[in-house]
Structure 1
């Protein structure tokens, strides 16, 4: 039996998420330092980074709002379509005599054994 411990999938995903977060923070710090090296005050660079973050968050919320609205519309349309269906038979004819009056009526297709043109093959 092996005594080596194996990392779980959750631990691997957590480490990958942590690496991604650190890479993002490092890139943000690099961008802020680049702005400072170009002559922008440190407070201005920090404010600009926050403005960009908030703008991205606003765009994401805007997209999420419209996505949710479309999903609600689809759900409402499905609910309305389900409400319009009835438990009755969907057959458009009320009785056999009305069905027999339709053009192109074939008693064999409807198993109408009482019709004179019905043939039992």
Structure 2
């Protein structure tokens, strides 16, 4: 029989998308910019027990920034506002690429830290 998840499995150190508590706000804020993450970011925030007021604040700021970008693009394009769709794929892809780079850097740093702490413990 597989062990059931315990409190440790949901601690900040064992968290998935949000990671440590200090990264919760970043995940929620910038998660609103990425198409699939936008819909799912509330799950790890809830698992990590992010305070509701803080979640609403960062969700509102992230959504407002994302929407303002497209409103400004539409305004700037004027009668050619339908071209915003052409720009949105570039913006989405750039945002996704930046998040992948940030995650990769985070994983590399975490691996290096664990390896370094493993060497000093011996």
Greater relative contact order (CA < 8 Å, ≥ 6 in sequence): 2
Structure with a larger share of its residues in helix: 2
Structure number with bigger Rg? 1
Measured against the shorter chain, the TM-score band is 0.3 to 0.5
**TM-score, normalised by the number of residues in structure 1:** 0.45
**TM-score, normalised by the number of residues in structure 2:** 0.45
